[in-house]
Homo-oligomer: A and B are copies of this chain.
Amino acid sequence: MPRNAFYAQSGGVTAVINASAAGVIETARKHKKHIGKVYAGRNGIIGALTEDLIDTSKESSANIRALMHTPGGAFGSARYKLKGVEKGGHEYERLIEVFKAHDIGYFFYNGGNDSADTCLKISQISETMGYPIIAVHVPKTVDNDLPITDTCPGFGSVAKYVATSMREAGLDVESMAKTSTKVFILEVMGRHAGWITAATGLAQSKPAEAPHILLFPEIPWNEEAFLARVEEMVKRYGFCAVGASEGLQDKDGRFLSESGLKDAFGHSQLGGVAPMLANLVQSRLKMKQHWAVADYLQRAARHIASKTDLEQSYAVGKAAVELAVKGMNSVMPTIVRLSSRPYRWKIGVAKLTDVANVEKKMPRDFITPDGFHITTKCRNYLSPLIGGEAFPPFENGLPVYVRLKNAPVKKKTRTDFKL
C-alpha cells in the first residue's frame, strides 16, 4: 500500500530550491506504488507542527514544471529548530500525530546544515518512538558548507550571480576611475565560510581585472594590509574592485559589521561591511568609492541561475525519492565530481550521521598565501559550478514566476498546536 510523503523547505531559500521541489514531486508522481500524495509543509516544518499541509496533487504538471524557473520557496520556508528530545520530545510527538493522521511514510527535508540534523532526528523516530518513516535530506544551501557532497545546490547560482555582477561593475568602475570612482566594494553573503567571496573572484581573468582584492571570513581582517593593497592596485591598474564577505572578522573573531555605530536616533547601526570598508578607503586614502550590498538579490537571482546548479538541484530531489522508495532511510543524496575538465558528475549517497552538524570550510590552499585572492585550485573547483545558463521565460520584460495554488489539506488532528 502506498503511503504519503511530506516535503518541506528549510532555512534560507535559493534561486533553485524549487527545482528540488519539482524533482521530489515529479519523481513521486512516477512511483505511485510506493508514494500516494506529496504534502508540502506550509512554511517548512511549521506546516507539519501546525498541521498546515499543502496538497501538491492539486497542482498541474505545468505548474510543478514551472518551479524549475521560480526562485524563493514556493511553499514557504522556516528558520525553526526542533527542540531536542531531551526537552520532552513534545514536538516529535506532535509530528508523529500529524504524520499518522495523514499516513505520511516519507519525509523529505530540503535544507542545509541545521536541517540535516533535524532530518536525522526524524529518521530515528522509527526506532526511538516506534513510528515507521523514511527520512531523506535534500541538500540545499548557498553557503556551500555541507560535507561529503562536492557542492551544495543553490551555491552555483549565487556564485554565477556574484561573479557576473563583479565583472560588470568592474568594467563600470574602470571606465569612471580617471576622474571619479577609484574603488568599488561588493559585499556578498557567507558569514562563516568564504565560498561566495571566492566565487566573486571568478570574474577576474587577468590581474588587471576586477576583483583585485577578496576579503574572506577565514582571513583575519588587517586594516593596514588592506589599505596598502588598495593603494597598490589603484596605482597599478587605475582602480581597485573588492569582493568582501559579510562575515569579515578581526583576529579575535569579532565581526566587523558589529560596528557599534549609532545613528541620529541613537539606534545601533546594523551591519554592512561594504559601507564600513568604503568609509575607510574614503577617509584614509581620500579616494572616491562606491559600494554595493547584494543581500537577497544574490540568492534570489533566478534570471542568472547556473544551469549546472539547476540540474543538480533537480537531481537531488529526484534521487531523494528514488532512495526513499528503495527503503533507504537517514541518508542524503550528494553530488559526486567525476572530473573537472570536462565537468562530469553523478549522484552519490551520504549517511545523515556523517552530514549533520559537520561544516565544510574553505581549504586554506584555495586562498592565495597573501590572503587576498583565490588560487588556481579554487578556480578549478568553482568554475564548473557556474556553467551554463537557464534563463526563465519573460513576459513584458520581466521574468514570469509561478505562484502555486497551495491548496490546504483538510485537518484531521483537531489539536491546536502552539509553536
Contact = CB atoms under 8 A, between A and B. Distances in A.
Given A43-B178, A80-B179, A179-B80, A295 B292 contact: yes
A9 B276 CA distance: 31
Contacts of A292: 293-297
A80 B176 CA distance: 11
Interface residues of A, number: 92
A389 interface: yes
Contacts of A308: 397
A347 B222 CA distance: 54
A73 interface: yes
Contacts of A203: 398
Contact of A297 (B163, B186, B263, B306): B186
A64 to B, nearest CB: 17
A264 B272 contact: no
Interface in A36-73: 43-44, 46, 70-73
Number of copies: 2
Contacts of A77: 175-176, 178
A15 interface: yes
Given A164-B303, A270-B275, A46 B179 contact: yes
A269 B270 contact: no
A318 interface: no
A276 B293 contact: no
Contact of A13 (B164, B172, B279): B172
B279 A175 contact: no
A136 interface: no
B396 A176 contact: no
21 contacts: A15-B168, A73-B175, A73-B176, A77-B175, A79-B179, A80-B179, A160-B398, A164-B399, A165-B300, A168-B297, A168-B301, A168-B399, A169-B297, A184-B296, A202-B398, A263-B279, A270-B275, A291-B295, A292-B297, A294-B294, A383-B396
Given A43-B179, A388-B397, 14 more contacts: A15-B168, A71-B168, A77-B178, A79-B179, A163-B397, A165-B297, A169-B295, A171-B401, A186-B297, A202-B398, A269-B279, A272-B275, A294-B297, A306-B397
